[in-house]
Structure 1
């Protein structure tokens, strides 16, 4: 009898292993929305001020255009439309420092002080992604608000110039008229934002970064305007005959209000600059004729003025935009590098 072998087949069903739970990566849309939610009051408040000032500038410009002159009194006799225009021209000049001090300077410093960066910068959200979202949204908002306010004030200044009975009130190279145009305002806003952000990252102190942003912003603006702007191009030189009797020029060729005067001085017969001693000639009892003859005795035969004509205004403004954009780019690179480096420590 042949034994029968029964083979039992055991079917083993492997239990399905549940996949490890992973957290979705924070998308750029979510990051921008969170940035807006966090800073909406700062951006909205600044936007309300900018819109209000723009409406005032356009309203004054409309009334000047409608009446045909800019000397209407407002409330009190000492306040006129052209004085209001000069005051409003200062508003866009403050936009960049406002962005630096109140938008950017607290941005990183507050996270460090409150230790919230330890929670925010997790594996799902790196410091670079977090910072990029802030820069994109807030930087674009700052540039847009600055450009819009600048455009409104430009309309006002041009209208006042066109209807001013006393002649042009705002020269093209005047600091307020030169700096208020939208493209230059964008450069100032980007520089202010990048400056405040860099100081916020380096100092990690809110009040300190705000104070430094305020001071450094105006120091840089002053140095660029006084030391760099007059030499974005080689100045033109205009020479005029020197009249010893009048103590000055005998010709009427002095550059007008639309020119940027870089330097004035004296030339001798060979066309070389002459260093004169004004103290020796300007005695208490000397009049214009004695003063002029004293200068002539020192070899002066011509006056000269180095200047930039008004057709260089727009190229100079574009150069200034490039200067401040380069500053902003360098400061942003420093900020990203600093934050990434310190996060690893």
Structure 2
């Protein structure tokens, strides 16, 4: 008798897997963790924006800026000048108080060992922070900047000559929403990168404060005047001018880049020419004649015209956005490289 051999196929039970943390859950967790920071900042920005818009409405309604607030302590013009500075500080606050503690606190408290599990990689955790907090910071900065721009325009319309806030002055130039977005992104990326590199909250906050203002100052003073080749205004030099030096000054709303003297051939004179004649300043007409004897025949002013303001602002937005992109890339690379579970 032959026994029939049968093979019974058995199906193994599927291995249990944990659901991957979705982007919606990640953003919700980020919001839950940072809601007080974002909400508090939004409340302050909304309050200051309401103040700016309210003052602008009253200035337009009355046609002048001679009003005061808080029992005549502060005039509308003083309020406008103070609010003009506030958006410039937005990127700094985001760098120091939003981004700098973000990673360093996780490292110091060792919570990254729990958060960055197999279900949630460091890159995805970091991406959730960047998307929610970076976008919120940029939106708040842009919104507040837009409100202050409305106030500036109202003050200029009702100020003699409309010259209280000139387009190339740092307050008016930097407050516009598109430039504010660049500063906010740069501030957030800078604080985040320092937070990842140092892993120390106080140290990263201090470095973010210093580096943010150093970079901003460098760009504003060294790069901004040369985003495009300056125009030159030239005038003949008169050693005996009626009203001081006969410099060919451009319009008041232009950005001054350089000023100096030219010889008969149109070549720029060395700055020492100006200082070498200081000893004759006490003599009647001595200073002007000394410069003329030194060979000065013309004066020049290099400047950026006001119609370049928008293009310069877009260039500055591009610069700080590029800075932010590089810092974000550095942060993601560094976190992935140094992560140990």
TM-score calculated relative to the size of structure 2: 0.94
> Please, which of 328, 335, 343 is the counterpart of residue 331 of structure 2?
335
Q: 172, 175, 190: which one pairs with 2:170?
A: 175
Query: For residue 262 of structure 1, what is the aligned residue in structure 2?
Result: 257
1:142 to 137, 143, 155: 137
Structure 1 match to 2:34 = 39
In structure 1, how many angstroms separate the alpha carbons of the residues matched to 2:240 and 2:66? Answer: 39
Partner deviation per Cα, 1:48-91 (whole Å, 9 max, x = no partner): 11101100100110011011111323346573212211110011
| Structure 1 unaligned spans of 5+ | none
The DSSP-based 3-state class of the residue aligned with 1:283 is helix
Report the counterpart of residue 60 of structure 2 in structure 1: 65
Corresponding residue of 2:286: 290
Give me the whole-angstrom Cα distance separating, in 1, the residues matched to 2:15 and 2:152.
65
Q: Which moved more, 1:69-78 or 1:198-207?
A: 69-78
Q: 2:301 — aligned with what? A: 305
Contact 2:281 2:287 (8 Å CA) reproduced: no
- The corresponding residue for 1:209 is 204
Q: CA deviation at 1:14?
A: 7.3
SS in 2 for 1:254: coil
Matches of 2:143 and 2:284 in 1, distance apart?
Answer: 50
- For residues 4-30 of structure 1, what are the alpha-carbon distances to aligned partners after superposition, in whole Å with 9 as ceiling and x for unaligned? x7x998999877643222110000111
Deviation of 1:289 after TM superposition, in Å, equals 2.1
Q: CA deviation at 1:291?
A: 1.3
1:106 corresponding residue in structure 2: 101
2:154 matches 1:193: no
Quick check: 1:69–1:165 contact (8 Å CA) kept in 2? no
CA 1:166–1:237: 2 relative to 1, 3 Å? closer
Contact preservation (8 Å) 2:262, 2:269? yes
* Cα distance in 2 between the residues matched to 1:262 and 1:78: 37
Corresponding residue of 1:51: 46
Q: Is the 8 A contact 2:52 2:147 kept in 1?
A: yes
C-alpha deviation, 1:159, in angstroms: 0.8
Residues 126-171 of structure 1: per-residue CA shift (max 9 Å, x gap): 0011101111111100110000000000000011111003641111
1:235-266 C-alpha deviation (Å, 9 max, x unpaired) = 00000122211284447x51122100000000
* 8 Å CA contact retained: 2:280, 2:290: no
The change in CA–CA distance for 1:150 and 1:285 in structure 2 (over 3 A counts) is closer
Partner Cα separation in structure 1 for residue 121 and residue 163 of structure 2 = 54
RMSD between superposed Cα atoms in Å: 2.1
Secondary structure at the counterpart of residue 243 of structure 1: coil
Determine which of 142, 147, 150 is the counterpart of 1:152: 147
- 1:260-287, Cα deviation, whole Å (9 max, x unpaired): 0000000111111112433432337625
What is the alpha-carbon distance in structure 2 between the residues aligned to residue 259 and residue 145 of structure 1? 30
SS at match of 2:261: strand
Q: Residues of 2 paired with 1:118 and 1:130: CA distance?
A: 12
8 A Cα contact 1:248 1:292, kept in partner: no
Secondary structure (helix, strand or coil) at the match of 1:40 reads helix
Q: TM-score, normalised by structure 1?
A: 0.92
Partner of 1:244: 239
**Partner residue in 2 for 1:83:** 78
SS in 1 for 2:209: helix
Alignment correspondent of 1:315:
311
